[in-house]
Chain A
Amino acid sequence: MAYSEKVIDHYENPRNVGSFDKNDPSIATGMVGAPACGDVMKLQLKINDNGIIEDAKFKTYGCGSAIASSSLVTEWVKGKTIEQAGEITNTTISEELALPPVKIHCSILAEDAIKAAIEDYKSKR
């Protein structure tokens, strides 16, 4: 299976890899896993008092498509409000990365990671 250029770019130069302190009240952490392949993804958002995402970091153990999906999402969410970030769907992610059908679950993982992080943010307040 051939990866698209965008996937390879994100895979070789992943953006925003790393972690924030999960106990910091401005940090929201979303943990999700894809049972189909055993991939695990952690997405962290740094959210200011106005509900705007100032920064994002991720750590993903998984295939190229899973890493690319999470890397892309960290770029997309920056500067967005949590409501706008919550509207990102797996379809837009998989279209942007030209993911083949067998890799759609990677984009679902990234979408659910954003949602899980937003849930964590809401529960912390």
Chain B
Amino acid sequence: MGFTSLNYFELFNLSFQFDVDVEAIAGTYRDLQRAVHPDKFAHQGERQKLLAVQKSAEVNDAYQTLKNPLLRALYMLAEQGVDIQLEQKTLQDPIFLMQQMEFREQLEDISQMDEGDEQDQLIASFENSIKRLTADYYCQLGTLLVSSCKVSLENAAIVVRKLKFMNKLSDELERLEETIL
């Protein structure tokens, strides 16, 4: 049970890359949890039991991080020494932000429409555009995050910041859909 020094990827026996088979890691997660389950160490004293609890929490953290693409990207940046400073640093990309404003305005317009087919269609096409954009950003991360040059990692950090806005859009869309249903 000595894997405290392993990073999350090593712990899950994966190579350090952004693309992860989420189904496969679910299986690894179950195996790892079984291996470190505190019940297994019930007869081995308090210290071993405590250690097992810690390992189990660590396996859990690793799994939650690896299965979520945004958390995975943030973790990969942190492992490579990039502090993304989400709280302190604003994004200042006028073209991207103008587009975000337009998306927000569209959502506002859609929410003020009468319910019906036209509104449903607009919601569907809105969902499509943000899904496509989001997929593009994740695609970029695949190459940027495993590059050894600093510029690529900084660009990856910018893409991650943009993804936070895309996630916000899909949250807002979900909220709108809930009010309609």
Q: Which of B32-40, B130-138, B143-151, B163-171 contacts A (4 or more CB under 8 A)?
A: B163-171
The answer for the CA separation of A7 and B83 in the assembled complex, in Å, is 31
Cβ-defined contact, A33 with B97, below 8 A: yes
B88 within 8 A of A: yes
- The listed residue (B87, B98, B164) touching A31 by CB distance below 8 A is B98
With a CB–CB cut-off of 8 A, which chain A residues contact B17?
none
Chain B residues, Cβ within 8 Å of A36: 86-87, 164
Complex interface: chain A residues within 8 A of B161 (CB) = 35
Interface flag for B90 (CB, 8 Å): yes
Residues of the B chain whose Cβ atoms lie less than 8 Å from the Cβ of A40: 97, 100-101, 104, 165
Do residues A61 and B101 form an inter-chain contact, with CB atoms below 8 A?
yes
Contact, CB under 8 Å: B90 / A108: yes
The residue on A at minimum CB distance from B100 is A40
Q: Report the separation of the CA atoms of residues A37 and B164 in the bound assembly, to the nearest whole angstrom.
A: 7
CA distance A112 to B171 in the complex (A): 25
B contact residues around A112 at 8 Å (CB): 90, 92
**Chain B residues with Cβ under 8 A from A29's Cβ?**
94
* Interface contact A33-B90, CB-CB below 8 Å: yes
Residue A109 is within 8 A (CB to CB) of chain B in the complex = yes
Q: B86's contact among A35, A42, A116, by CB below 8 Å, is which?
A: A35
A59-B101, A61-B101 are contacts. A108–B168 as well, Cβ < 8 Å? no
Q: Is the CB of B164 within 8 A of A35?
A: yes
- Complex: how many Å from CA A36 to CA B89? 9
The answer to whether A31 and B94 have CB atoms under 8 Å apart is yes
Check if A46 is an interface residue, CB within 8 A of chain B.
Answer: no
Q: Report Cα–Cα, A116/B169, bound state, in Å.
A: 23
Say yes or no: B92 contacts A37, CB within 8 Å.
no
Residues of chain A with a CB closer than 8 A to B87's CB: 36, 104-105
> Which residues in window 66-125 of A have CB below 8 A to B?
104-105, 108-109, 112, 116
* Residue contact A32 to B88, C-beta cutoff 8 Å: no
In the complex, the chain A residue whose C-beta lies closest to that of B161 is A35
Residues of A within 8 A of B164 (CB): 35-36, 38
With A33-B93, A33-B165, A61-B100 known, 19 other A-B pairs at CB within 8 A are: A31-B94, A32-B92, A33-B96, A33-B100, A34-B90, A34-B91, A35-B160, A35-B161, A35-B164, A36-B86, A36-B87, A38-B164, A38-B169, A40-B97, A40-B101, A42-B101, A104-B87, A105-B90, A108-B90
